[in-house]
Structures are given as C-alpha cells and as structure tokens.
Amino acid sequence: MAEVHPTFSASTVFARNAPVPLGNNMLRAVEAILDPAILTLSLWLVSIAIVGELRPPYLILAVIVFSITFPGTSRLQTSKKLLIFNVLYSWFWVALLLFFLGLATGYIAEFSNEALITWLWVAPLSQIGAQLALRSAAPYLLMLQGPPQRAIIVGMNEQGVALATRIHETRYSKIALSGFFDDRSQSRLYQTEHNSLLGRLRELPQFVKENRIQFIYLSLPMASQPRILHILDELKDTTASIYFVPDMFITDLIQGRSDSVCGTPVISVCESPFTGSNGIVKRASDIILSLIILTLISPLLLLIAAGIRLDSPGPIIFKQRRYGLDGEEILVYKFRSMRVCEDGDTIRQAEKGDSRITRIGAFLRKNSLDELPQFVNVLQGRMSIVGPRPHAVAHNEIYRNLIKGYMIRHKVKPGITGWAQVNGYRGETRTLEKMQARIDHDLDYLRNWSLRLDLHIILKTVMLVLKDRAAY
C-alpha cells in the first residue's frame, strides 16, 4: 500500500472568491480584471512585435481569452509559491483549450507560430509579475478607499471568535473589528486576544448608531431564533450590513447556498454541485474528454482484450453492480483481471499476492488499465471521469451503517478517479479509519467542486498512475 500523507482540503488548493465583502472593493475589482487584461495585452504586444501589426485573428483570440478568464481569480491571500503554481496551472489549461479549439476549427493556421510560442511563455510570466506588483500596490489601493470599515460580532462563542481570528489574520482587509456583544457572563465566553466584550445585546443598537458600525456578524446559535429576530428588528434603524454566521454543521454543508422555492427563501444544506449550468459543464466535459481518450487508446484496448482472451478462459469485460447517482444500481465495466467474477452479497477485496488474479490481470491492476472500459460508462451517462469511486454493493451496505454521511457521496455520479484517490486513498482499504478518510475526501470534493479541480485531479491521476503501486 502507498503511504498516506496528510492533505490539504480542495478549498485550500482551489479557494473560491469570498462573496462576503472585506471592505476592499477596489482590490477585488482590480483582481477581477487583472489576469484577463494581462493575457489580452500580452497577446497584442507580441502580435505587434513579431507580426508587425494587430491583425483581426489576434483581436478575435483576445476576445475569446478575455471571455474565458474573466473574472480573474483572487490570489492576494495565497503564498507566492502557490500563486506561481496557480498561474502556471491555470494557464496550462487555458492554452490547451485554445489549442484544441484552434485545431478543431482550423483557425490556428491564421497565426504566426513564432508569435504563439512567444505568447505561451510571455503571458504567464506577465501574470506572475502583475500579481506580485499588485501585492506591493495593495496597501496604497486600500488607502485610496478611505478609512477602515468598522465591524462588530454578536456572540462571543466558538464560531464568533474563529471569525474574529480570520479577520485579523487576513491580509488586505479594510475591516476594523471593534469587538463583541454578548449577554452571557465572562466565565461562559470564549476568550480571544484580539478583541474584548463591548457590551450586552440591549446596548447593541445604540452602539451601532453612535459608532457608525458598517458590518455586523450575528454569531448566535440557531436555537436562539426569537433573540435573532428581535436583534434584526432593533437594527432596522441602522444602515449596517448584517451577516449571519451559522453554528450548525458548518463544515458539513454540501454546496450550501441561499435559494428560493416558489418565491419562498430557503438555504441549501446538502445539494449536488451539478445543478443548473454546472451540470451542463460537467456533462459536456465528460463527453468531450471521453471521446478524445477512447479515440487515442483504442489500439491499446484491442491489445488488452486479446491478451485477456489468450491468458485465461472467461469474458473479456467484467460487469460489476455498483451504486450510482442517487444510490441507483448501475453496471460498471472493467477488464477482467481475476479468474472468478465476484459480484454477490459478500466480496473480498483484492490483496497483494491474491491467487485469484491472472497474470495479465496483475499487470492491468498494477497500471490501472483494468478500468479503461469505464470511459464507455461515462459516455453512457452512468459515470463521470472525476467523482467518488464506486464501491461494491456489498461494501456499500456495510459502510453506510458505519460511516456517517457515507451515502451523500451518491449525490453525484461515481468517477473513474477522484479526490480521495489522488490523495493516497486508492486501492485496498483495510481499516475503517482509511475508509472514513476516503469518504471525507469524497465529501470535500462535493463541497468544493469546480471544473478546475476536475482538471487538476485528472492531471494528478495520470502522474500517479506512472509511479503509484497502491492497487493490486
């Protein structure tokens, strides 16, 4: 088994732009326009320098580049190392997409090879330089916005103190946190070194008006609904922006967001990330990538099929029952790698040196080639290229009773590869703790899905298959 190492959350590697304002509206506007503008401007300059003029094809390409990269990603809060990685990684996929679009349309012939090659390295270097320059300019941009915006937190509890800590640790924030309001005694309050208790809840409205407070964060338990409604009613006489910091299942929300049902406001607590346009993007990317991959590997598929037929008696393709989207049973295809085809109520996981594995099966499993037929499952709509790996039906029935939230992973289609697999949880899971960790990664993927995360997982899977030996 491959050694399992601690990993970052998907939200750490691919952080989303926070929709709640930090008072740095000018910085956010600059970040939104910076990357698209730099990519477009660098293309224009390269075109003029090498071609001698700005021809129509370059103008059209500039519009396409701006469209697919706007708004730019917020990178001010990341380390320089992660900034460089994110820029290079994002540019790799943008350039790859443009290359395939150019080939598919034949439009690539309209461009100078020298200009395109030059732009390929000038663009990301310009992005990195611009992002580093923005970090130097950020304090001055914040000064142009005037004095900091004052904020208070209602509720000196665990999540309130955690929010205060995050505000103080966040760079380039225009929020000046004044302190807390709470009715409880000092002995029941969470202690923090950053801010002190300013008063009781009845003093809150007057304090807000007298001190021109602009942001109020309500960090009260959900059970305190009457008190929350009373506070909101009292604050209607102010112009402060008010945000609610929920205490329930903060880390367990799956695609949590506000929505409405027939005009009635609701909050999503557990939802599939593939609703609306996200579902269209996910399905389209699955179809396009599967068609490309199957076309490229078709000779390899024929060779493997012939090898299985010659190596041992039995079918070439092994069809396994698995749970798919919404827990519905599906058939998943694999190249047969064993002498027996287990798919009953009791299934023994493959082990190192397993006598059931055929000679060619050992090679296929070692190199993850036995799962290549699952690209057909993707085209059928049963699976996705990236998603939680499907477990045997028998294993599902065991672990759904042992691991809390196990079945939530079935809110999306199972995948050929997944966030858990590229983080060390691939192959046999001998202990409940390792299965728990695998499920935690699956749910982390659901919370933080993006097309960029999918592409990252695909690329990392290819790299791991070349060196990892966790499957057998």
User: Average pLDDT, whole number, for the chain?
Assistant: 78
Q: pLDDT tier at 247 (50, 70, 90 boundaries)?
A: low
pLDDT digits 0-9 by tens, 45-59: 888 888 777 777 777
Sorting pLDDT into bands at 50, 70 and 90, what band is 252? low
Which SS3 state, helix, strand or coil, does residue 391 take? coil
First to last CA, the chain: 9
Site of tokens 């205490």 = 247
Integer Rg of the chain from CA = 27
Which residues touch 464 (CB under 8 Å, ≥6 apart)? Answer: 421, 422, 426
pLDDT reported for residue 10: 62
Q: Which of 3.40.50.10470, 3.30.420.40, 3.40.50.720, 3.30.1330.10 would CATH assign to domain 149-268?
A: 3.40.50.720
State the pLDDT confidence band at 333, using cuts at 50, 70 and 90: very high
| Structure confidence at residue 248 (pLDDT) | 53
What is the helix (H) or strand (E) element at residue 200, kind and residue range?
Answer: none
The more confident residue out of 28 and 25 is 28
With bands split at pLDDT 50, 70 and 90, how would you rate the model's confidence at 388? Answer: very high
pTM as predicted: 0.64
Tell me the two tokens of residue 82: 């992660």
The confidence score (pLDDT) of residue 386 equals 94
Residue 33's H or E segment, with its range, is helix 25-50
Contact in structure between 379 and 287 (CB atoms under 8 Å) = yes
The dihedral built from the CA positions of residue 221, 226, 227 and 233, taken in this order, carries a sign that is positive
For CATH 3.40.50.720, list the domain ranges present in the chain. 149-268
pLDDT at 16 over 80: no
pLDDT at 250 over 60: no
Q: What are 415-464's pLDDT values in tens digits?
A: 999 998 888 877 666 788 888 889 889 988 988 888 888 888 888 888 88
Q: Look up residue 390 and give its two tokens.
A: 């499907």
Q: What percent of the chain has pLDDT over 70?
A: 82
CA distances from 1 to 174, 217, 332, 404 (A): 48, 47, 24, 25
Single out the residue of 384, 375, 383 nearest to residue 285, CA to CA.
384
DSSP code, position 403:
S
Range 215-223 average pLDDT: 80
Sequence-distant (6+) residues with CB within 8 A of 74 are 15, 17, 18, 28, 31
Neighbour tally for 227: CB within 10 Å: 16
Tell me the per-residue pLDDT of 95-107, one tens digit each, with 9 for 90 and over: 887 787 777 767 7
Cis peptide before 390 (omega within 30 of 0): no
State the Cα–Cα distance between residues 228 and 237, nearest whole angstrom.
15
Q: What's the pLDDT tens digit per position in 146-168? A: 677 888 888 888 888 888 888 88
d(CA 121, CA 91): 10
401 half-sphere exposure, CB direction, 13 A CA radius? 4
- The percentage of residues in the chain with a pLDDT greater than 90, rounded to a whole number, is 8
Better pLDDT: 201 or 271: 201
Q: Which of 272, 310, 363, 351 is nearest to 1 (CA)?
A: 351
Query: In whole angstroms, what is the distance from residue 452 CA to residue 458 CA?
Result: 10
Q: Taking residues 201-228, report their average pLDDT.
A: 82
Q: Which two tokens stand for residue 119?
A: 């732009």
- The burial class, CB within 10 Å (0-12 / 13-18 / 19+), for 353 is exposed
Parallel/antiparallel/unpaired status of strands 215-218 and 241-244: parallel
